[in-house]
Structure 1
């Protein structure tokens, strides 16, 4: 019961087409899971940048979706080859659920895209003194290094001649030994300044310029990073949605052909 009789040439062609699309779907599931893991590992700073845990939640959903797609694609392959109707029906229902979820997620993401920009700008202004994002994105201030006029008035412990914090200075990647003055001998400049973690930077605090400091604002850099990440996730999502849709069509066609 539920197994098909000998199929004609059209049925066999449909069966192997579905098998092929399920292989593509399985590969796509692996890609989605990998993108989710990559997002968690390499782009965790986005959560701090956006001021919400929705970003990491989306990454976890990607991982879970990838696992489900991998498992259901295997089920679809087996159902197509063995011509088992209950497997094909289960495959269709689960794939339909995934397709609807991705469609709703894409619509919501597009609808709230402007809210993300506003939230990110607000978050950045409220966390001007947290320099982790500045180092990661290689930026300075929210709109640019001029925004650190506020920083200069609020940080009395720093040298009054400093225009920007050390995190706005460009990193020195090839450095020599620390000199007696507490500066670092550099292959790029004669001296560089070192932070408490041992990372050396260009001496830019007194007079920041394009050769020694990051002058682009963190808002523009952050928005660019979010758009790049969204483009990757969106591209993968569109690809999976297409394969999922074709898989549903083939599964129902094959389901109806099995006697």
Structure 2
């Protein structure tokens, strides 16, 4: 038994266990980051989702949340397998890492392919959404999303403030509104009756340009996080294989001894 104990605590095995533990800490942090980004996207930017006809953006946010949870659970399994030196659990841990790695590659390819589609749909539909759904019955989500978009990005209209001239709400308004109050630099009731540049935002390119920049920046962040996690997973899979092999050799040596 003493020989077996010494065999199981060789320098190589101990170093691998510490390295795998460090990996799991980093993996947990990465999983927590992905989870936080997903929750932040849903909680803080959900108003913009109503402006997109495509479900790709909202689906991406929920995929991030699911991935973050899976990463955290996978890290817990890895720690249990490492501390208890359970080779079967190490195999499960390796398979989970590999599956998440494949999912990240697939998600990355889909994100790249769908971005062009989302961007095209956004340019086509944002103006129509603003003109036909703003302040209309049953479209409270769109109205809130448009107001938040114009205030946060300091813009007015899809391409310019002139887009509002064909809005159903403007055409049927009894208050001689030129643009929504959310276009005003200092929002207040009925301030949209005056569309002078000193009163409203006249951003070149309108809100569409700012929204495109926002979506692209989100994709870049997700891409950077994905690449970082993928690198960690490759390292984790190599360490898992090495630890599995060391435990197998140690146990074999102990039995022979």
Give the equivalent residue in structure 1 for 2:224.
235
Matched, 1:151 2:167: yes
Aligned to 1:194: 189
TM-score normalized by structure 1? 0.79
How far the C-alpha of 1:34 sits from its partner, in A, is 1.4
* Alpha-carbon shift at residue 152 of structure 1 (Å): 8.3
TM-score (norm. length: structure 2): 0.80
CA distance in 2, matches of 1:63, 1:112: 19
Quick one: distance in 2 between partners of 1:62 and 1:112? 16
Q: Are the counterparts in 2 of residues 148 and 163 from structure 1 also a CA contact under 8 Å?
A: yes
Q: Residues 58 and 153 of structure 1: is their aligned pair in 2 closer, same or farther, counting only changes over 3 Å? A: closer
- Of 17, 22, 36, 1:15 maps to 17
User: Residue 164 of structure 2 contacts residue 170 of structure 2 at CA under 8 Å; is this kept in 1?
Assistant: no
Question: CA 1:10 to 1:133, structure 2 compared with 1: closer, same or farther past 3 Å?
Answer: same
User: Counterpart in 2 of 1:168?
Assistant: 183
Question: Larger helix proportion, structure 1 or 2?
Answer: 2
What is the deviation of 1:9? 1.8
Structure 2 alignment gaps of length 5 or more: 135-142, 249-257
Match of 1:51 in 2: 53
Report the CA distance shift for 1:133/1:214 in structure 2 as closer, same or farther (over 3 A): farther
Distance in 1 between the 2:101 and 2:195 partners? 54
2:255 maps to which residue?
Answer: none
Deviation at 1:158, TM superposition (A): 4.3
1:46–1:55 Cα contact (<8 Å) kept: no
Contact 2:130 2:146 (C-alpha < 8 Å) held by counterparts: no
Q: State how many pairs are aligned.
A: 228
Counterpart selection for 1:220 from 209, 233, 242: 209
Pick from 143, 146, 165: which aligns with 1:134?
146
Query: Deviation at 1:81?
Result: 2.4
Per-residue deviation, residues 86-140 of structure 1 (Å, max 9, x unmatched): 1111000011101110111011111222111111112212212324333212221
Match of 2:235 in 1: 246
2:130 & 2:225 partners in 1: Cα distance?
34
